[in-house]
Amino acid sequence: MTVALRYAARSDVGLVRTNNQDSAYAGPHLLMVADGMGGHAGGDVASSVAVAAFAPLDGESHGPDDALDQLEAALESARDDLLARVDADPDLAGMGTTVIAILRAGNKLAMVHLGDSRGYLFRDGVLTQVTTDHTFVQHLVDIGRITPEEAEHHPQRSVVMRVLGDFDAEVTPDLSVREARPGDRWLLCSDGLSGFVSADTIEETLRTIADVDACADRLVQLALRAGGGDNVTVVLADVIELDDVADGAGPTTAATVVGAAATTRNNPTSAADGPAARAASLTQSAARQKTSQDPADDEDDDPADLPAVPVTVSAVGDEDEDDDEPVGRRRLRPGLVWTFAGLLTAAVLVLGYLWTQTQYYVADQDGEVVILRGLPQTLGPVALSTVVERSGTSMDDLGSAYLRGRVEQTIHATSLEDARDLVRMLEQDAEEQADEPTRTPTPTATPLLPAPQPTTAPAVDPAAGVTSP
C-alpha cells in the first residue's frame, strides 16, 4: 500500500486582530500550524520562525523510526533561533508560539504538539480530538472541577501553560505515532477555529464537503461568521492510496505556506457577507475615514461653522423684577448640586471597592507566588489589592520561564478557589517539567513503502525567519 496526502492550508487575519500571528505549512510529508502568542511581542515572528525550522523536514529522507527525533530536533532548532533573535532585538522578548506538526514517513504519521492548537482525526464519519490542550482549563477538566462544556466558555481558556518561546527552560511536547490509513481526514487548526466553531459543526463540515480546498475555505468562513475574534488557521489533509487514484489525478507535491510566514501575510480578511463581517467593515471604514481627515478639519469651534441656535431674549426690567425667586432658594441650588455630587461619588467609590473585593489574581510578590484580592493597580500611593494567601512556592521553583512570565504579568481568577487551582496547576506543571522524561512512543512494526513523488520544499529566508512558496 502506497499512501499520500491531499492537502490544503488557509489562514485569515479575522475580524478583530490587526495582524496575523498564525503561520501554517502543508506539503506532501509535513503538515503544521503555529499560533503566535497574542499579547506577546513578536508572535508573528515566533510562528514564522517555527515554520522555517520545520519546513526542511518536508522530504523523503526520513523513516518512521527517526521521524519523532527529527520533529524534536526541529523544535529545538526553532527555540535556538528564537533565543538568537531576542538577543539581537530585545524588543521581541516574551514572544512564543504553539506548535502542532505531523510528519509523514511512509504510511506512518509522527506528531508533535505544544500549546492549544489542535489536531483532529475524522475517521469513519466520527471526529476525534487527538491532542490535549496544554491549558489551565484543560487541567480543571482533567481533575473534574469543570466539564468540557464549561471549559469552552471559561474566562481562563486562553491561559496556555506550554509554548515554544525564548525561554531558558525547555518544555516537554507531546509526541505520538499513528498509522496513515486511507480514507482518514486530518485537521490541524489554531484556536481561532476551535474556539469559535463547535466540534459538531466541524464534524458535519468534514463529512459533507469532500474537496479539501472547499472544506478548508468553509471552515474559515464558519469561524468568521461566528465573530472572527482571532486569527483563523486551518490545515486539512486526506490520506489517499495512490493505487486507487487515476493517472494524472494524484495530489500535488507543491508546498503551501500561509499566515505570518507567507508573502501574503498582510492580506485583508476573506470574510464573506455576514453580521460580523459587516460590523467589522463599518468599524474599519470609520477608522480609515478618521485617519484620512485633515487635522484642520477638526477645528470646528469657529462660530460661523456652527449651526444657528434660536435664542429668546426677554426685556430687562429693573433689578427688583429679577428677585421673583426667593433668595434662599437661589442660594441653596449650588449647595444641593455639590451635595448630590459628593454622595454620588461616595456611592461609586463604595460600590467600586466592593466589586474589587470579588476579584482575585495570582502574581509574584517578592519572589513568591501569591494570591491577591482586588486589582493589580494603584491609585496614587494606594494599592488596590491585598495578599490573601501565600503559596510558599518560590518563583524560582517554577521550572518554565514562560510560567514565571505569566505569573509576573498576573493571571486573573474568577474566584479564590479558581486562584488556588491555578497555583496548584503551576506547581504541578513545574514538577512535571522537572521530573518527566521525554516520552518517545515506539511505532508499531509496519512495512515501510517509499513515497512515490519528489518534494520541493519552499525556500527559507533565514534573515526574516519567513518561509515562502
pLDDT per position as a tens digit, 349-392: 566 656 667 788 888 888 888 898 887 777 666 677 888 888 88
Burial 135-170 (b: 16+ CB within 10 A, else e): bbbbbbbeeeebeeeebeebebbbbbbbbbbbbeee
Predicted pLDDT at 338: 65
Q: Which of 7, 141, 136, 227 is nearest to 426 (CA)?
A: 136
Q: Which of 469, 457, 454 is nearest to 60 (CA)?
A: 454
The DSSP element (H or E) to which 120 belongs, if any, is strand 118-123
Name residue, grid cell 498509522. 179
Pairwise CA distance, residues 371 & 364, whole Å: 9
Greatest mean pLDDT among 137-146, 235-244, 299-308: 235-244
Cross-strand partners of 110: 103, 177
User: Torsion angle, CA of 445/447/448/451, rounded to 10 degrees?
Assistant: -140
**Angle ∠(368,98,149) on CA atoms, nearest 5:** 85
Q: Which of 405, 423, 361 is nearest to 387 (CA)?
A: 361
Ranges assigned E (strand) in 159-299: 164-165, 174-179, 185-189, 232-241, 256-259
Predicted pLDDT at 274: 56
Residue 413 phi/psi, 5-degree rounding, is -130, 150
- Cα–Cα distances (Å) from 408 to 190, 261, 377, 382, 416, in that order, read 26, 30, 14, 20, 19
Q: Which of 174, 144, 141 is nearest to 156 (CA)?
A: 141
Burial 89-117 (b: 16+ CB within 10 A, else e): eeebebbbbbbbbbbbbbbbbbbbbbbbb
Burial class (CB in 10 A: 0-12, 13-18, 19+), 406: buried
Q: Which of 172, 295, 254, 353 is nearest to 7 (CA)?
A: 254
Ranges assigned E (strand) in 348-450: 360-365, 368-379, 382-394, 411-413
CA max distance for the chain: 112
Predicted pLDDT at 198: 94
Question: Over the stretch 171-208, which tens digit does the pLDDT of each residue have?
Answer: 789 999 999 999 999 999 999 999 999 999 999 999 99
Residue type, 429: D
Predicted pLDDT at 68: 94
Burial 286-309 (b: 16+ CB within 10 A, else e): eeeeeeeeeeeeeeeeeeeeeeee
Residue length of the chain: 469
60: number of Cβ within 10 Å: 16
* HSE-CB for 229 with a 13 A CA cutoff: 8
41 has pLDDT over 70: no
State the average pLDDT for the chain.
78
Predicted pLDDT at 277: 54
Let me know: does 47 contact 261? Beta carbons within 8 Å: yes
pTM, two decimal places? 0.67
Predicted pLDDT at 67: 94
433 has pLDDT over 90: no
Pairwise CA distance, residues 113 & 33, whole Å: 10
62 has pLDDT over 60: yes
